[in-house]
Amino acid sequence: MDSKQKEGRYNRIAEQLRELLRKDGDIISKMSTVTAVLHGKMPHFFWTGFYRLVGDKLIAGPYQGPVACQTLDPAKGVCRACVSRNESIIVPDVSLFPGHIACDSRSKSEIVVPVHDHCGNIVAVLDVDSDRLNSFDECDRGGLEKIVRLLSGV
Ligand code: SME
């Protein structure tokens, strides 16, 4: 899929999710819907899901794909770096990211996007893994950042 096709697909997914996500809906139920739609429609998504920030812990939320770590080591990993930096992180080759947590050895590249509540606090991250190197670019970042904003209605 080239960038133009990918951008079109993200836009259509965002439209569909705008219809599906109830404004007053439960956050876990909304995360489940986002995960199911993204995982079903994006061929390069090998693992798609959320880690929720509960206290200081990152705990697996709704996801699709191979079984993943339930709680992430608090001292390392791409998801933790996303929370600390409060920005999306694209990892073209996970073997080159110091401290990367490999829940499944088939994951080769990754993107992690912070999820904020309506006050701007991070409540979770959306994590997507691919089984190929270099699968994510600025188009994925833009598309996924737009989609996670639908969760809090901002
Ligand atoms: N790779 C992540 C851990 C979660 S799995 O990719 C599903 C990390 O380094 O934080």
The pLDDT tens digits for 43-69 are 999 999 999 999 999 999 999 999 999
Longest alpha-carbon distance in the chain: 41
Q: What is the pTM of this model?
A: 0.96
Whole-number Å distance, alpha carbon 134 to ligand 1 midpoint, is 16
Which pLDDT does position 154 carry in this prediction? 52
pLDDT score, position 31: 97
Q: Return d(Cα 16, Cα 146) in angstroms, integer.
A: 13
- Is the minimum distance from the CB of 141 to ligand 1 under 6 angstroms? no
Query: What is the dihedral sign for C-alpha 21, 26, 30, 36?
Result: negative
Domains within the chain, CATH numbers bracketed: 3-149 (3.30.450.40)
Tens digit of pLDDT for each residue in 78-123?
Answer: 999 999 999 999 999 999 999 999 999 999 999 999 999 989 999 9
The 10 Å Cβ neighbour count of residue 51 is 27
Cβ(107) to ligand 1 under 6 A?
yes
Contact assessment for residue 90 and residue 48, using Cβ atoms and an 8 Å cutoff = no
Mean pLDDT of the region 124-147: 97
CB of 100 sitting under 6 A from ligand 1 = yes
